[in-house]
């Protein structure tokens, strides 16, 4: 039980109020209370057990997911949970399932793009789970390029219907979660065709399966696309393939909040601005950023606890080996990820505010902040999901060989999370969208059109192009104003340099393609600046609790200086800092690692994750790792018998053959 005593000792070192840090992480005391109550409710219910998930066949795995989803819905109704509480319960069940797309995409899309009549018709059915929906946009041949989708919706004025059709193999809907085996309905994106004229992509509500026997309706070919990366992982989700053979739907099942097709076959614009469609996109992407902080913090929690339990080398006079977490090589890889988890949490909070602000402005027909908000959410989705996917894998490696076991929780977490780098926009494509926005902003400088929101710093272009970092000693890097100016100057200079290089091309699109790698890096610099600036804004708030703000300041400095270290070439080549100042930043970074070390376990305890949610023997709260690893090994079906299946058919004949050869 040495591990138990060891983590208790680690917790006693905390230099801040852990309970108050839990509130900061959760966002409010109310949110913490709800989260804590629901997570423990799930953890204490054996029906939500998940430790055998990686040992199940695909069919058993999927059936088990259906059972959990149905049971979760039953508990939501029995306990009369609020929408907030129900969302928390689904989160802590921790199993990708059709529910995710029903609540996360199908319902929000109808809310955002349906008319009042359509919302009144479809949402009550969806909220009561009388229909189950998914989001069918991506096709076999097109994902990020939505305008290239091939599925057609042709209006038939004779019957007042749309004919949904898949004209090619590549027009098959491919990947939608919940589509393969469960969904009864889908929001299907197809090209609107009226009188042989193509009016671009629109959304349509299409019933896929009978509500009586669940069989596919006539003209619909539908199924699962097969096993994905990992063991259990995302294979609990029925990602699907869907083809239409001239399927007819009523005209009023086109989502018509923005544009409508009349009975006579005329396309008319409503008085609702088309920009409202972006509200759903902003909502989904801000949710993805929040999910990134959850996934990264989960991996970091596992790696931090295990790094404190694990001892290797460095035998001391007491005969005890050194804790892995005390090695500087471990700290330099682990603590920046810890800081990133907190940084992504806070920028996620800000994105929630941004979504509400943008939505209010859209309702009032104020579109002034929409381009900036679109670029911002696209860039942060890309930045945080890429960093989180890489961070989870780094945490696995930080756990050594045992991190490769499924019982560590890390291989499955990685396999579940990495699709986030692709869905809702490929990460590189999204950064190129950010780059276009930055190039447009730079081109308008000096025109009287002032930059807004996260680009407001570009209004100081002359100052940022000429400023020199004032750092003279390592401690100067602890000043938020110094760090912020360095990040602003780096982003400004990279954007201006890219704009100047683009101007050398006669064809701007040719230039954009040629310089795309540089433009992506300029977009990354801008997005990292956003994270740094929002972390600073968080520190400027009233943060209660003994020592809490001090710990957050340390984490902020680690995040910023680690990014500076990682992208040192950008800072040096653009002249933002000198090599000497870069060296001082590294000195300060090493010092900051030492300051985090006594608080590391308490900082991951503040995530308030139950052992059930973590799903990791290595990340157990009590630190009792090795007995549990040994215990888990014997649960594997291969250990059901001492002599394996196949011994008599394959192993025994080989052994007997070897014995006969030996006698020769």
- The count of other CB atoms within 10 Å of the CB of residue 248 is 15
269: left (phi over 0), alpha (psi -120 to 50) or beta: beta
Q: Give me the pLDDT at residue 318, please.
A: 73
Tokens of 518: 């540089």
Nearest to 599 by CA among 165, 280, 304, 253: 304
What is the tens place of the pLDDT at every residue in 368-395? 888 888 899 999 999 999 999 999 999 9
CA distances from 39 to 51, 78, 214, 616 (A): 16, 17, 33, 16
Pairing of strands 240-244, 220-224: antiparallel
Q: Are 406 and 311 in contact (CB under 8 A)?
A: no
Q: Residues in the chain, how many?
A: 664
| Residue 664, pLDDT above cutoff 70 | no
Q: How far is CA 412 from the centre of its chain?
A: 15
Q: Token match 């299409």: residue?
A: 206
Nearest to 192 by CA among 140, 256, 280: 256
Contacts of 447 (CB under 8 A, 6+ apart): none
| Residue 26, pLDDT above cutoff 70 | yes
What is the tens place of the pLDDT at every residue in 591-607? 999 999 999 999 999 99
- In the DSSP assignment, the letter for residue 454 is G
Q: How far is CA 552 from the centre of its chain?
A: 23
Nearest to 411 by CA among 235, 539, 543: 235
CA angle 91, 92, 95 (to 5 degrees): 75
What is the tens place of the pLDDT at every residue in 315-349? 767 788 999 999 999 999 999 999 999 999 999 99
- Report H helices in 540-620: 548-566, 568-573, 579-596, 600-605, 611-614
CA angle 275, 280, 286 (to 5 degrees): 120
Q: Give me the pLDDT at residue 280, please.
A: 77
Q: Give me the pLDDT at residue 360, please.
A: 85
Q: Are 171 and 150 in contact (CB under 8 A)?
A: yes
Q: Give me the pLDDT at residue 591, please.
A: 97
CA–CA separation, 279 vs 265, rounded Å?
Answer: 28
Q: Give me the pLDDT at residue 658, please.
A: 56
Q: Give me the pLDDT at residue 277, please.
A: 73
Question: Average pLDDT, whole number, for the chain?
Answer: 94
Contacts of 504 (CB under 8 A, 6+ apart): 511
Tokens of 270: 């409503």
| Residue 361, pLDDT above cutoff 90 | no
CA–CA separation, 47 vs 74, rounded Å?
Answer: 12
DSSP assignment string, 509-541: HHHHHHTHHHHHHHHHHHHHHHHHHHHHHHHTS
Contacts of 642 (CB under 8 A, 6+ apart): none
Q: Are 217 and 210 in contact (CB under 8 A)?
A: yes
Nearest to 480 by CA among 539, 426, 520: 539
Integer distance in angstroms from the first to the last C-alpha of the chain?
Answer: 54
Tell me which fold the domain 102-272 belongs to. Answer: Butyryl-CoA Dehydrogenase, subunit A; domain 2 (2.40.110)
What is the tens place of the pLDDT at every residue in 121-171? 999 999 999 999 999 999 999 988 888 999 999 999 999 999 999 999 999
Q: Give me the pLDDT at residue 2, please.
A: 43
Q: Token match 């819905």: residue?
A: 73
Q: Give me the pLDDT at residue 130, please.
A: 97
Q: Is 139 a catalytic residue?
A: no
Marked catalytic residue, from 424, 485, 488, 553: 424
CA distances from 630 to 7, 402, 626 (A): 20, 11, 6
CA–CA separation, 485 vs 480, rounded Å?
Answer: 9
What is the tens place of the pLDDT at every residue in 227-272? 999 989 999 999 999 999 999 999 999 999 989 999 999 999 887 7
Helix count and strand count (H, E) for the chain = 24, 11
**Measured on CA atoms in the order 552, 553, 555, 560, is the torsion positive or negative?**
positive
What is the tens place of the pLDDT at every residue in 270-294? 877 777 777 778 888 999 999 999 9
CA–CA separation, 80 vs 75, rounded Å?
Answer: 8
Nearest to 100 by CA among 65, 76, 146, 64: 65
Q: What are phi and psi of 141, to 5 degrees?
A: -100, -10
């Amino acid at each position: 039980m040495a591990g138990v005593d060891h983590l208790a000792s680690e917790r006693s070192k905390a230099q801040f109020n852990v309970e108050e840090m839990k509130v900061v992480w959760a966002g409010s005391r109310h949110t913490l209370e709800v989260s804590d109550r629901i997570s423990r409710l799930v953890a204490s219910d054996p029906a939500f057990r998940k430790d055998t998930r990686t040992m199940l066949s695909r069919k058993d795995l999927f059936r088990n997911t259906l059972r959990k989803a149905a049971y979760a819905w039953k508990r939501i109704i029995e306990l009369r949970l609020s929408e907030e509480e129900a969302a928390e319960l689904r989160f802590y069940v921790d199993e990708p399932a059709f529910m995710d797309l029903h609540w996360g995409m199908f319902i929000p899309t109808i809310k955002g793009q349906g008319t009042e009549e359509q919302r009144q018709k479809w949402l009550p059915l969806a909220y009561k789970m009388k229909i189950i929906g998914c989001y069918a946009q991506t096709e076999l041949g097109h994902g990020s390029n939505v305008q290239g989708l091939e599925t057609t919706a042709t209006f038939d004025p004779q019957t007042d219907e749309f004919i949904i059709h898949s004209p090619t193999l590549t027009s098959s809907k491919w990947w939608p979660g919940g589509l393969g085996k469960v969904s009864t309905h889908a929001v299907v994106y197809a090209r609107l065709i009226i009188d042989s004229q193509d009016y671009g992509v629109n959304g349509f509500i299409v019933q896929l399966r009978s509500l009586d026997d669940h069989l596919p309706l006539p003209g619909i070919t539908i199924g699962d696309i097969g096993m994905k990366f990992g063991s259990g992982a995302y294979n609990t989700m029925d990602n699907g393939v869907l083809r239409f053979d001239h399927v007819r739907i009523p005209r009023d099942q086109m989502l018509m909040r923005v544009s409508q097709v009349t009975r006579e076959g005329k396309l008319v614009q409503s008085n609702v601005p088309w920009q409202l469609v972006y509200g759903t996109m902003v909502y989904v992407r801000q949710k993805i950023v929040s999910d990134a902080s959850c996934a990264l913090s989960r991996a970091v929690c596992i790696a931090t606890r295990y790094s404190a339990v694990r001892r290797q080398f460095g035998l001391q006079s007491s005969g005890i080996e050194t804790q892995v977490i005390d090695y500087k090589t471990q700290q330099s890889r682990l603590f920046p990820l810890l800081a990133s988890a907190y940084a992504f949490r806070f920028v996620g909070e800000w994105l929630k505010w941004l979504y509400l602000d943008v939505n209010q402005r859209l309702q009032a027909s104020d579109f002034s902040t929409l381009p900036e908000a679109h670029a911002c959410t696209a860039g942060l989705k890309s930045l945080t999901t890429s960093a989180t996917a890489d961070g989870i894998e780094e945490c696995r490696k930080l756990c050594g060989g045992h991190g490769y076991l499924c019982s560590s929780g890390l291989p499955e977490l990685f396999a579940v999370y990495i699709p986030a780098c692709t869905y809702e926009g490929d990460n590189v494509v999204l950064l190129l969208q950010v780059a276009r926005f930055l190039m447009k902003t730079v081109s308008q400088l000096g025109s009287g059109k002032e930059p807004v929101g996260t680009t407001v710093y570009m209004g100081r272009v002359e100052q940022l192009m000429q400023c020199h970092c004032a750092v003279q000693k390592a401690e100067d890097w602890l000043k938020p104003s110094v760090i912020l100016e360095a990040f602003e100057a780096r982003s400004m200079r990279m954007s201006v340099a890219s704009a100047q290089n683009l101007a050398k091309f006669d064809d701007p699109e040719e230039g954009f393609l040629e310089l795309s790698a540089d433009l992506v890096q300029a977009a990354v610099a801008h997005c990292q600046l956003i994270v740094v600036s929002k972390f600073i804004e968080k520190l400027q708030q009233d943060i209660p609790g003994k020592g809490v703000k001090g710990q957050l300041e340390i984490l902020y400095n680690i995040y910023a200086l680690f990014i500076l270290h990682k992208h040192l070439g950008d800072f040096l080549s653009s002249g933002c800092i000198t090599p000497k100042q870069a060296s001082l930043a590294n000195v300060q970074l090493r010092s900051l690692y030492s300051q985090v070390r006594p608080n590391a376990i308490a900082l991951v305890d503040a995530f308030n994750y139950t052992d059930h949610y973590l799903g990791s023997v290595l990340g157990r709260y009590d630190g009792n790792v090795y007995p549990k690893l040994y215990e888990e090994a014997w649960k594997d079906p291969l250990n059901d018998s001492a002599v394996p299946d196949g011994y008599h058919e394959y192993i025994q004949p080989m052994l007997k053959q070897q014995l006969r050869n030996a006698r020769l």
